[in-house]
Amino acid sequence: MTVTSRGGDHAASPPSGTRERIQAVALRLFSEQGYESTSMRQIAEELGFTKAALYYHFKSKEDIVRALLETMRSEVADLVMWAGSQEPGPDLRRQVIARWTAIMQHQGLRMFRFLSSNYRLVRDIRSDSGQREGMAAAMGRLFAVLTPPNASVEDRLRARFALLVINMTGMASRDIEADEDEILAATARISASLLPPEF
Amino acid sequence: MTVTSRGGDHAASPPSGTRERIQAVALRLFSEQGYESTSMRQIAEELGFTKAALYYHFKSKEDIVRALLETMRSEVADLVMWAGSQEPGPDLRRQVIARWTAIMQHQGLRMFRFLSSNYRLVRDIRSDSGQREGMAAAMGRLFAVLTPPNASVEDRLRARFALLVINMTGMASRDIEADEDEILAATARISASLLPPEF
DNA sequence: GTCTATAGGCCGATAGAC
DNA sequence: GTCTATCGGCCTATAGAC
């Protein structure tokens, strides 16, 4: 998955890993400082080379965002595909919460932070690149796993909040002194209690 | 409250309302487009004058942020003071949710969006202005109203999530087709169900 | 209170050498 | 793949006229 072309040569070139390193650094800086206040120069210097070298790997700053979006989209799509292959039921819903938590502990939290702080940027980038299916659609299919077919508005909201509280854990626990593990376990219980009742 | 000085003359000058109009426009643009991509020129033109005139009212762009922070801080402090004067109990907790919802429907949602997208900026601005008590402290006292004295980690998280879901309603309901009123009512029920049980 | 004009700096992006 | 050098543009902020 994610077969995007290099800047200089063609597709599927030997995996130097430079693009991935650029993406990771860029995502970290975007989520910590904001997209606009992170310059191409800063990203490059953090990686030990100059801005011009960066433009060899990505043809523009927005192109880095496009790559980040594709990475996250494919991660969500994978989770949805896995969920679609399982038996529906309370057990599946608990496992979706666990997997979502795992994604959010990887690069996901940074990604989520970036997405919610740059709604317009992301929307505008995605609308000019004719993408097959966006992350919003993938999220919609994920929520469908968590809700009965003709769920009420409240139940549909509950499904969305059940995943959102996981993303908000950092913000909510900033002033709570307790191990991270205890906080994550408590959040998982709260998330499960938010899910709409059995169906 | 909020007796900050004008740019040109001294304190308590006649309420031309220009500062307030500048704050409102700036907050809207900051929350919609981001702080960095909103320029002083754009704020000024939206109000029908030029950038230089803006610098008469606020000595810098960060100074606008300082004024916005003070406005929000005093709103939270007022809510905390009111809650402190009431009888504790389930009824008070429901009313705090209702008042929080009201604040968030005023300028609060924009403020919250701005705060969570510009954590570093806000922290750096507040640390060099020696402010008596920050918003974080005011929020802490608000959470205390919603939790028993020696609450568990889970209950403390529940209190924070109960308020956070109200701020997250817009994001969670983006793909749900229903009136705003129905969504708000459902969110209020979910928020109440998140509060830690009676104490 | 609002204006024009400008200083001084950083930005994204490109050209072309190595 | 990485570099130096540069372009054109927009930014925050200030000076000084009205």
Answer whether residue A125 is part of any domain: yes
Could you read off the pLDDT of A91-117 as tens digits, one per residue?
999 999 999 999 998 889 999 999 999
Answer whether residue A78 is part of any domain: yes
Query: Residues near chain D (nucleic strand), Cβ < 7 A?
Result: A 6, 8-9, 13-14, 16, 18, 44, 48-53, 56-57; B 38-42, 51-52, 55, 59-62
Tally of structural domains, chain A: 1
Q: State the DSSP H helix or E strand holding residue B23, giving kind and residue range, or none if neither.
A: helix B18-33
Give the C-alpha separation, B146 to B162, whole Å. Answer: 9
**Nucleotides in chain C with any atom closer than 7 Å to protein CB:** 1-5, 10-16
Residue A144 in this model has a pLDDT that exceeds 70: yes
Give the C-alpha separation, B96 to B163, whole Å. Answer: 9
Span B191-197, mean pLDDT?
A: 90
Torsion of CA A159, A188, A28, A115, to 10 degrees: 10
Judged by a CB distance cut-off of 8 A, whether residue B175 touches chain A is: yes
pLDDT of residue B7: 42
Structure tokens at A137: 């659609």
Answer whether residue B180 is part of any domain: yes
pLDDT of residue A130: 65
CA A99 vs CA A166, B132, B144, B191: distances in Å: 11, 43, 32, 25
Domain of B138 in residue numbering reads as 69-194
> Residue B40, CB half-sphere, CA atoms under 13 Å: how many?
16
Residue B12 in this model has a pLDDT that exceeds 80: no
pLDDT band at B131; cut points 50, 70, 90: low
Span B81-110, mean pLDDT?
A: 92
Which CATH number fits the domain that encloses residue A167? 1.10.357.10
Structure tokens at A32: 């910590």
Answer whether residue B115 is part of any domain: yes
Give the C-alpha separation, A142 to A160, whole Å. Answer: 10
Residue A198 in this model has a pLDDT that exceeds 90: no
Give the C-alpha separation, A122 to A131, whole Å. Answer: 12
State which amino acid sits at residue A153: V
pLDDT band at A131; cut points 50, 70, 90: low
Answer whether residue B79 is part of any domain: yes
Q: Give CA angle at A114 (A113, A117), nearest 5°.
A: 85
Answer whether residue B39 is part of any domain: no
pLDDT band at B166; cut points 50, 70, 90: very high
Query: Is the model more confident about A89 or about B56?
Result: B56
Nearest by CB to residue B172, choosing from A117, A157, A178, is A157
**Nucleotides in chain D with any atom closer than 7 Å to protein CB:** 1-5, 10-16
Determine, for residues B153 and A176 on separate chains, whether the beta-carbon distance falls below 8 Å: yes
Q: How far is B172 from chain A (nearest CA, A)?
A: 6
Could you read off the pLDDT of B28-37 as tens digits, one per residue?
999 999 999 9
Which chain B residue's Cα is nearest to A136? B175
Q: Report yes or no: B183 and B196 within 8 Å, Cβ to Cβ.
A: no
Mean of pLDDT over chain A:
89
Q: How far is A173 from chain B (nearest CA, A)?
A: 7
